[in-house]
Structure formats: C-alpha cells, structure tokens
Amino acid sequence: MELERINNLWKFLSIKNNLKLDCSKDKEVAYQLTKGNLVLKHIFNPQLLQQSKLLIGDKNFQEKFCQHAYVSSKKRFGFKEKPASLTSQKIFFPKELLLKYRKFDLEICKDYQGHIQVSIGPFFPKNIYEILNQVNPIARTFWVKNFFAEGIRN
C-alpha cells in the first residue's frame, strides 16, 4: 500500500510540473525527476522505509570529489548519534536550514567545482505537501528557485 501511495505522489508531481519521472527498481526503488540543472531522487527500500533518502543536487555533482561536507543527524532514542562533521571551516549554507531539518538526518556536500548535493532521510511522504515543504525550501536556499510550482497547493 505504501509503495502505491508513494508512486502516485511522484506521478502527480511530475504531471503537474511537466517533468519526466524516471522510476527504477533493483534492490531499492528510486524515483528521479530532473528540472534544468537540478536532480531530485527519492531512494528507498519498500520493506524498510526508515532507510529512505531524498537527494537534491546539481546534475554535475561529483560525489567522489566532495570538498566540503556537513552532516547533522536526528536524535533517536536508543541509537548512538552519527559523528558530527568537523566544521572548522566556514559553513557554506544558512544556519536556518539546520533548524528546519532537525527531524531528518541532513547531509550537505559541495564538490571542488562548487556543485551541491543535499540529502535528507528518513523521508517517506504521506502527501504532496510533505514533499513540497521539504524540497522547495532547500531549492530556494541553494539554487534560488523552487523545484515544484507553488500553484499545486491550491
């Protein structure tokens, strides 16, 4: 049931925004939308939704050449926290973003060419508003544009 609902959400958003939806299933299910230079991926295991991730990043981001990285993990009862990033360098994004995403594990990477990728997880949306409320603020912060049209809300 969860898989069908998530599939319908991504199809609806791709149709309303006139974007091509790429769907693949191997060990994990992956949905991918591309809008200009930005790529949005939702990757999850249908049996374990707690391991799902939402990735937003530049199309040309090179993960192997990550220059700056920031990791912030959600506090969970009974689990040890992931080690926090050493932020001896200047943080390259607004701190307001950290406050908004305290309910997710947040990872922000910047490669040598200045391309950025943001990962949040666990991410399993129940409606389109949960997707819009997470994706658009990140896209506005880093790329100064909304990924999805705001007219969908009405």
Where is average pLDDT lowest: 69-83, 114-128, 136-150?
69-83
Does residue 103 belong to any structural domain of this protein? yes
Amino acid at 94: P
Does residue 148 belong to any structural domain of this protein? no
Cis peptide before 122 (omega within 30 of 0): yes
Which DSSP helix (H) or strand (E) runs through 131?
Answer: helix 128-143
Query: Tens digit of pLDDT for each residue in 1-11?
Result: 578 899 999 99
State residue 77's pLDDT score.
47
Q: Please give the tally of structural domains in the chain.
A: 1
Does residue 41 belong to any structural domain of this protein? yes
Does residue 132 belong to any structural domain of this protein? yes
Task: Please name the residues in contact with 102: beta carbons below 8 A apart, sequence gap of 6 or more.
Answer: 72, 74
- Residue 150: pLDDT band with limits 50, 70, 90: confident
18 token code pair: 């006139």
> Across the chain, how many H-helices and E-strands are there?
3, 7
- Residue 114: pLDDT band with limits 50, 70, 90: confident
Identify the domain containing residue 13 by its residue range: 1-143
- Residue 15: pLDDT band with limits 50, 70, 90: very high
Residue 101 and residue 142: Cα distance in Å, rounded? 15
The more confidently predicted of residues 117 and 153 is 117
84 token code pair: 């926090």
State residue 11's pLDDT score.
94
Does residue 154 belong to any structural domain of this protein? no
Kindly state the DSSP code that residue 153 receives in the 8-state scheme.
G
Look at the pTM and tell me if it is higher than 0.85: no
Does residue 17 belong to any structural domain of this protein? yes
Does residue 151 belong to any structural domain of this protein? no
> To 10 degrees, the CA torsion angle through 56, 119, 133, 124?
110
Does residue 149 belong to any structural domain of this protein? no
- Residue 88: pLDDT band with limits 50, 70, 90: very low
